[in-house]
Structures are given as structure tokens and as C-alpha cells.
Structure 1
Amino acid sequence: MKKHIIYIFMGVTLGSCTDFLTLQPEYLVNEISFYKNAKDFETALVGNYAGLQTLYDTDLIDLGDLTTDNAEIRWTSPTTAETEMDEMSPTAANSFLNTIWNTCFETIARSNNIISRLDAAGLTEAQKNQFRGESLFLRGLSYFYLVRLFGNIPIVDVAFRSPDEIADFDMTRRSTDDVYKLIINDLTESATLLNGITLSSKSQASTGAAKTLLGKVYLTTRQFDQAKTILKEVIDSKVYSLNSDYKKLFTNGNDELQESIFEIKYLSGNLGEGNRFSGQFTPARFDMAIFPNNMQGSGRILPTRPMADAYESGDLRRKASIGDSVRLVTGKYEKELYGLKFVDFTTGVQGDGGINFTVLRYADVLLMYAEALNETGNTTEALTYINLVRSRAGLTPLAGLSKADFALAMEKERRVEFFLEGHRWFDLVRTGRAQTVLNAYFKDAGLSFTVAEHELIMPIPLREININPNLGQNPGY
């Protein structure tokens, strides 16, 4: 682990895009001559944001949807890692888990490095606040994924300048309570520092993004009163609102929409800056004619039949989220379930999708706030906020629900609202429903797979265990 930490926390050089908003190729710079002015820190932050492209492009959708009743693999040669996710039988060698671990800790290392350089640089107080606030958001976001997936993990909140500093630092795994304390502190400070600062893009952290993520953290840790307070602040700010056209959220030109709070930019036609959703979410058929050049999909993450049937009659989200048939090169159509969200039907090249991925959006704020209200005994008021989301979907309002019935209605609402956005696994674990829901799904499908208690936390990646056996493995693996 010590050797690996040296790699992550010192070997993460200042790789960055010259401008993440236009998604230029990465280049390397010399740290000795860097961190002198605001432009240097902007460049460093651009590199840190750029690291999130891969995280959301593949791995978190596999963890968030493929592990659940939402999605399944439908092609003949899945990788071992994909099969493990589809069957919810993760192992310590799973490549998705390894990538998430490394990407998150690299983001943390870059954030620590930026924060540690601020005081010595010739910056205004406003610039320091902005760069620190953005870095704290990225660090908090990374730790939030790590703690939910792996449980007890090392906490590194400083930047290192030498191997000796690393050797002297306590790299042992810390309790989830300690990790959540760090996350809450980071996001709370981030929201304060970024308050009143106007940023050029929603691909940058903002006070609204920090508060929204903090609300999700409070829900996860069952601090419902705190969740209510912070999420109501986002609502009352009136900065965000529901987009009237749900489909627009997931199609070409979805940049900077009124519902978007924090998004990941992708660019088609610029090698390495596109996303892979177009191939992942569409069937592995060579005879399709739904893309230019008749590009083939991969069938890696396709909707299950129960997912397709989960929408109520008349739900406008169904048509925007799931396709029922594909056009073939013969001109005929054949029945086939596939995903529509984030699929760029203008590209004919695998891995070149240009549709942005929205990490945080206002519909999530409304539903999280409704959940917090229900959990604190305010079910009648909670109905107002869930019905705002249902109204946009063209559905009739819910009424007269008990607290327990509301919780189940919310579970269903979040499933159809956030399909293929990486929420389902985390929602089910957070509410304590993962085993009940997923084991019933596997049983109904005639499958022998089950989700065991220990599988609610993923295994520590094998690479980490091999480097330092003292790191230890999570129980059951």
C-alpha cells in the first residue's frame, strides 16, 4: 500500500487539459515552475475534472445499474468483470472496482496538491476560495464513492513532497464514520467558499453542487433533518428548475440546462474525449442501421424486461429512456430493448459520443428532499415534491400514502427517473432494500444468483492487497 500510495500521491503529476470546457488533449508540466498564478491553478483543476470522464463513462454505470434489476448484458463474450457485475458476484480482481479505486484516489491526490499550494501562490482571496472550494468538492465526491463501495478506507487529506512523508503517514483504513466526517466537512466548506462565485460552466463545482451532494451524504448517513435543511436551501435558491422536456436531458445539446447542477463534458470528433454510452447501451447486432456507418452496439448494459415494464402507463420518461425495436439494414424493424439516454445517434464511431453526463440534477434534489420529509414524519408535504417530478413525466399526483407506502413509491420513482444514471445500486443499499429487491429479481428470473450481506460492500481491489497484505480485505471476500 505504501508503494502504491507513492505512485498515486506523488506520481500524479500535473496532467491536465488546456481547457476542459473545450476538452483539449492532456499535456504534462513541471511542478517546480507551476502553481504561480491563477492560470496555473485553473489548469491543474481542469486536469482534475478531466479524470472524472472515465469514471462516469463506464465504471459507475456498471456499478450503479448493471449490478441491479435495471440492466443486463446481452452479448456473447462479456468480460469477467462485466459478468461479475451482472450476476452481483464481485471479486477483488474486478477491473471496474480497481479503476474506481485508482481514479478516486488520483482525484483526491490532485485535490490535496492544489489545496496545499494555495497559500504560497500570488492569488487574491477570492481566487483562493474558488480553487479550494472546487478541490474540496472533488475530494468529497471521490471519498463519497469510495466509502459507499468499500467501507473502511485510508484517509489522505494532505499533499506529500517526499517518500519519507508518505512513510510516516498513517495509511491504515479508517472507519466509515471518520470518512463521512471528512466528506461532510469538505462539502460544507466547499459550499461556503463557492457561495457568490460565478463559474463559467456546470462542469465546475458550485455551491449548489456542494449542497446537493451534501444532501445525498446526509440521506446516506440517515441524518434526515440535516438533509432537509441543506436540500431546501438548494430549492429556495431558485437557481435550478426542472427541464420541461425530459428527453432533452439526455440527447445532443444537453449542455448547461436549467436542471443540471454538475455535469461531465464529452466531445465527439476529438479522439479520447467522447463517451462510450452509444455502444454500451445498444444491442450487439451487426445488422442494425441506427447509427451512421451502421455502427454496431455492444449489448453491455441493456434494460431488463422488468425495467421496461416498471413505468406506469403514460409515463413520458419511458419513450425517452428505452427503445423497443431497432431498424435493420434491410429497412425492417425487430423487437429489441435498448437504452436511449446519452446515446449519440450522430456518431458512427465507438467511444465517440458527444452527449454530456449529468452527475447531479434538480429532479434528484426534489426527490431527496421528499424522502427526507417522509423520513421525518412529513409525508403529506413530501407528496408535493415527488409530484413535481411525476407531473413533468405526465403522471397523476400521488395522494394519501402512509410513510411506508411513500417509501416504496419513492423507490419506484427514483428507478424510472434515474435509469442508466448510476443511482439504482446506491439507492437500494442506502434504504436497506438491496437484498430484498435484487434477490427477488434473480429468483423471478429463474437465476441462482443472490446478494449476500457481505456483498453490500465491495471487495478491496486485489492489486492493493498484493502490494500491502496488511491493508486487509473486507469480510466475506
Structure 2
Amino acid sequence: MKKIRYILPFLVLLTSCQQFLNVQPELQVDESQAITNASTAEAAVNGLYNRLGSDNYYGSNFPALSYLSGGDIQWTGSQSAPQEITARKLTAANGYVSSAWSAIYQTILQANYLLEVVPTLKDPQLTADRKNQIQGEAYALRALSYFDLARGWGGVQLILNATHTPSDNTGISRSTLDETYAQVLKDLTAAEPLLAATTNRNKVTRKTVWALRARYHLYRREWEQAETYASKLIDDAAAYKLAKPYNAFFANNAVATTESVFEIAYTNSFKNGHYNWWLPPALSGRREWAPSDKLVALLNDPNVGGNRKDLIAQTSPPGNLWYGKLYYRTPLGTDPAYIIRITELYLIRAEARTQLGKIAAALTDLNAVRDRAGLAVSQATTKDALLLAIETERQVEFPFEADRWFNLIRTGRVAVVLGITDASKYVLPIPNSELLADKALTQNQGY
């Protein structure tokens, strides 16, 4: 049986598969019983979010691929997979790569099944509006999944139909990067009219789609559309605004603040695995990932980090170890995973406006982010200086989220900033296990 091409389209009510932690419970039912009425459809869409938030996707491993690659996070522990990433010795056998790839495709397969079955259900409790909402969520989360595959691995196999048997969806060649991104836009476009234009920070709405489109258009260098879609949320000041000071969106057990456009909620039975890797042993973690000396200096610099220094803390003597404290809560593992925040929309619009020659407007957006961090206004006056200033803001704004590496690749700055000149290393390897399972799948060059 192929590793990811065939999974029973079961209801994932509690799901995760953390590579080095205890496996969380997973409830599944036979395919023929999986989605038959309103209640099972609701359970299945909840399962889709659990796929997205699993330890191998946004609950740990996928963001880790970005921040461990981005040069600001050091590996301090014993596991070989993160060591390979930080040492620039990534291989196709890396556990983080294979588990993230599998988790993303499992999310896609769950979305595919919802898209196939929900329109056919004839339960009077499942209204037409609710069917539309579920389908919109499935399209949007499939779009996010393919977006993450594209920015991580390049062009990938586009699996757009439900998988019922091991022979379904096999022998599909990899699409190009442009084709993969085109599918992302197609799914976002399909999702938008199906969703209500409401505010929900834990579920996908039309506003979530607008935010994802802003990010998509930024990556595609479509500046006008990036500005337009970012503005849709920034202008909705009643729903979205920068939490002030910086730590207001995560300190003191805060959740679902006006800062968040989309975050994944966790519970004591469905945990976010980040804390285990960031917190020191004294706080029941392993601290195998830690901020680098450079990042510590930037965050503690009052002219760069400002009040974002609250992202890090130091253990007591004699250790004096710096650690990340974005994921810290009690009960452990109940921290949100932040998919997209309003700050990113400000920085997307700032960059888009810079590229469009709207320097003054771009500075206004950048300075809104800096003001929230307790910083003086930026002194950048030229396009190049402003782009570098935006890059620095991203570096200290999202160091423990899935941004730094992908941002440097997107802007073509990875060679200058990290000294990685081999362009074949700008994408992740296709897992060896997947190449063995599907002969139609080809490896990225250089691996």
C-alpha cells in the first residue's frame, strides 16, 4: 500500500503522529460509514482541521522546516532530523521532510473526500448554505496545502479526486511549479463565493481566503492583487488590528485575538507539539531548538526587536540558556498554531506598495508594525532600503512561525543572507519512501 496515496477517508476526530512524542489517539471508521449525514459531515470537517494541525503539519514539523532552515534557529539536541536541516545536509530520508509531506497530502485527501461526498448528502439538517460552507473550507484548506507543497518542494503531483483504493490517483506526473500555483488560485477562487464573509479565527471564512490570496499574490509577484486583498482585511479594523503590545496576542494564555486571521486551536487531547522542542527541561520541554545568538541579539536590540524581545526568555543561572517562549502554555501543548496574522497582511501590503512605487504608503504600513513593537519610524526612503527593512521586520516578527526560509527563497535573498548558492537546495527533497511507492514521482534535482 502506498504511503500517502491511499488512506481511508475516515473521520479524523483526534489525530496526530508526532515523530518523537507519544502518538495521540486517532478514531477512524469504515469508508462506507464515514460521511452519511449532517453529524458525520461536521465531524469530518473537524477532522480536516485536525489534519492541518497535526504534529507533522502545522503542529510542529512543517513550520520547523522553515525556521530550522532559515538560519536563526539552532539545533541543540540529539535528534538527527533537525540536525540535518540546520547543518545544510538535508537528505531525502529526513524524517521531518517525509512526515510533513505525508501530513500535507493527508490533508488534501481529506479535503478531496469532503468535496466528493458532501454535495451528495440529503440530510435536511445539512442546509445548502452549510454544504457550501463545508465545501468552501475544503477548497481553501486544499489550496493552503498545495501552496505549502509548492513553496517547499516546487511543482508536485496534483491529486484532486477522492482516493478509495490503492490504485486510485497513481501514476500522476509532477506538475510544474506554475501549474501547482495555478491550482492554488483555482481552489481559492472556488472557495471564496461558497464562504460567508464572517470573522472566525479558528475556521476558514471568506476573509481567510482573502488573506491567503494576499499571500499567494505576493509569492507570485502580482503586486496589485496582493495590495488589494491585504487591504480587505486591514481595512476591516473592527475585526482585525495589531494587538498591542506585541505579546498581547500570545501572552497570558491569549487566544483568537484581533491579531489572528487564522490560527489552529488545540486542547489537552489534541496538542500542539511545538512546546516540547522549544521549552527547556525545567519547563517540561527538550529545548532541542533554540534562538541563535544572532536572533537573540536582534530581539534584544531596542532599535530592532523592540518589545518583540518577549518572544524569548533565559533560564536561571548557571545555565543562562535562551529559549523561545511563543509556545509555553499550561496545559502543555494547548498553544495555538498561527497560520496567518494581520501583521503579515501589513507587511505584504508594504512590500506590494514598495514594488508599485508607493513608497509613502508602504512606509505607513511598515511603521504600523514598528509602532506596535515600540520602535521609531523607519528611515528607509528608497525602494531597496524599504525592501530590506521589510525583510528585517519579518525576521524578528515571525521567527518561530513558517516564514523565514520561504521568505528568503521567495525574494531571491537566500544566497546573500545565508550563503547558500546551490539553487537545487532551495527546494526540499521528495521523500525516498514516496519515490519507491510511486514510480511516476521524480526527485528534485540535487538530491
* TM-score, with length taken from structure 2: 0.90
Q: 1:100 Cα deviation (Å)?
A: 1.2
- String of CA shifts for 1:250-273, please: whole Å, max 9, x gaps: 3352222111111111223x3xx2
The correspondence for 1:326, drawn from 303, 315, 329, is: 315
Provide the residue aligned with 1:59 in structure 2: 61
Cα–Cα, structure 1 residues 301 and 70, in superposed 2: closer, same or farther, change >3 Å?
same
Provide the residue aligned with 1:471 in structure 2: 441
Q: 1:42 Cα deviation (Å)?
A: 1.1
Q: 1:105 is matched by which residue type in structure 2? A: Y
- String of CA shifts for 1:94-121, please: whole Å, max 9, x gaps: 1111111111111111101101112211
Q: 1:150 is matched by which residue type in structure 2? A: W
Cα–Cα, structure 1 residues 451 and 252, in superposed 2: closer, same or farther, change >3 Å?
farther
Q: Output the CA distance in 1 between the equivalents of 2:429 and 2:140.
A: 25
Specify the SS of the correspondent of 2:320.
strand
Q: Output the CA distance in 1 between the equivalents of 2:81 and 2:194.
A: 40
Q: Output the CA distance in 1 between the equivalents of 2:169 and 2:140.
A: 24
Q: 1:427 is matched by which residue type in structure 2? A: N
Specify the SS of the correspondent of 1:406.
helix
Provide the residue aligned with 1:203 in structure 2: 202
Provide the residue aligned with 1:443 in structure 2: none
Q: 1:388 Cα deviation (Å)?
A: 0.6
Provide the residue aligned with 1:372 in structure 2: 352
The answer to whether the 8 A contact 1:172-1:471 is kept is: yes
In structure 1, the gaps of 5 or more residues are 19-23, 440-449
Counting only pairs closer than 5 Å after superposition, residues 174-213 of structure 1 correspond to structure 2 as 174-196=175-197, 198=198, 201-213=200-212
State the identity as a percent.
Answer: 30
Counting only pairs closer than 5 Å after superposition, residues 59-78 of structure 1 correspond to structure 2 as 59-75=61-77, 77=78
Q: 1:164 Cα deviation (Å)?
A: 5.5
The answer to whether the 8 A contact 1:317-1:417 is kept is: no
Q: 2:146 is matched by which residue type in structure 1? A: Y
* Structure 1 runs (4+) greater than 6 angstroms displaced: none
Specify the SS of the correspondent of 1:93.
coil
Provide the residue aligned with 1:383 in structure 2: 363
Q: 1:4 Cα deviation (Å)?
A: 2.0
Q: 1:437 is matched by which residue type in structure 2? A: V
Counting only pairs closer than 5 Å after superposition, residues 66-465 of structure 1 correspond to structure 2 as 66-75=68-77, 77=78, 79-122=79-122, 123-163=126-166, 165-166=168-169, 171-196=172-197, 198=198, 201-238=200-237, 239-268=239-268, 270=269, 273-283=270-280, 288=282, 291=283, 295=284, 297-311=285-299, 312-313=301-302, 315-323=305-313, 325-327=314-316, 332=317, 334-344=319-329, 346=330, 352-439=332-419, 450=420, 452-465=422-435
Q: 2:261 is matched by which residue type in structure 1? A: I
Q: Output the CA distance in 1 between the equivalents of 2:108 and 2:44.
A: 13
The answer to whether the 8 A contact 1:38-1:127 is kept is: no
The answer to whether the 8 A contact 2:311-2:326 is kept is: yes
The answer to whether the 8 A contact 1:251-1:343 is kept is: no
Q: Output the CA distance in 2 between the equivalents of 1:416 and 1:166.
A: 42
Q: 1:159 is matched by which residue type in structure 2? A: A
In structure 2, the gaps of 5 or more residues are 16-23
Q: Which has the larger radius of gyration?
A: 1
- String of CA shifts for 1:27-51, please: whole Å, max 9, x gaps: 2233324433332211101111111
- String of CA shifts for 1:171-201, please: whole Å, max 9, x gaps: 11111111111101111222222133x47x5
Q: Output the CA distance in 2 between the equivalents of 1:424 and 1:64.
A: 6
Q: 1:403 Cα deviation (Å)?
A: 0.3
Specify the SS of the correspondent of 1:310.
helix
Cα–Cα, structure 1 residues 426 and 400, in superposed 2: closer, same or farther, change >3 Å?
closer
Q: 1:131 Cα deviation (Å)?
A: 0.5
- String of CA shifts for 1:210-238, please: whole Å, max 9, x gaps: 11111111111111111111111222233
Specify the SS of the correspondent of 1:72.
strand
Q: Output the CA distance in 1 between the equivalents of 2:42 and 2:152.
A: 30
Q: 1:17 Cα deviation (Å)?
A: 4.2
Q: 1:390 Cα deviation (Å)?
A: 0.5
Cα–Cα, structure 1 residues 34 and 62, in superposed 2: closer, same or farther, change >3 Å?
closer
Specify the SS of the correspondent of 1:27.
coil
The answer to whether the 8 A contact 2:159-2:169 is kept is: no
The answer to whether the 8 A contact 2:247-2:308 is kept is: no
The answer to whether the 8 A contact 2:246-2:308 is kept is: no
Q: Output the CA distance in 1 between the equivalents of 2:169 and 2:293.
A: 50
Q: 1:313 is matched by which residue type in structure 2? A: P
How many matched pairs? 431
Counting only pairs closer than 5 Å after superposition, residues 26-37 of structure 1 correspond to structure 2 as 26-37=26-37
The answer to whether the 8 A contact 1:380-1:400 is kept is: no
Q: Output the CA distance in 2 between the equivalents of 1:234 and 1:275.
A: 27
* TM-score, with length taken from structure 1: 0.85
The answer to whether the 8 A contact 2:5-2:163 is kept is: no
Q: 1:460 is matched by which residue type in structure 2? A: I
Cα–Cα, structure 1 residues 230 and 318, in superposed 2: closer, same or farther, change >3 Å?
closer
The answer to whether the 8 A contact 2:429-2:444 is kept is: yes
Q: 1:166 Cα deviation (Å)?
A: 3.6
Specify the SS of the correspondent of 1:394.
coil
Specify the SS of the correspondent of 1:360.
strand
The answer to whether the 8 A contact 1:251-1:342 is kept is: no
Q: Output the CA distance in 1 between the equivalents of 2:168 and 2:294.
A: 53
Q: 2:120 is matched by which residue type in structure 1? A: A
Q: Output the CA distance in 2 between the equivalents of 1:48 and 1:460.
A: 24
* Larger mean Cα displacement after TM superposition, 454-463 or 63-72: 63-72
Q: Output the CA distance in 2 between the equivalents of 1:109 and 1:171.
A: 15
Q: 1:207 Cα deviation (Å)?
A: 1.4
Provide the residue aligned with 1:447 in structure 2: none
Q: 1:451 Cα deviation (Å)?
A: 5.3
Specify the SS of the correspondent of 1:471.
coil
Q: 2:144 is matched by which residue type in structure 1? A: L
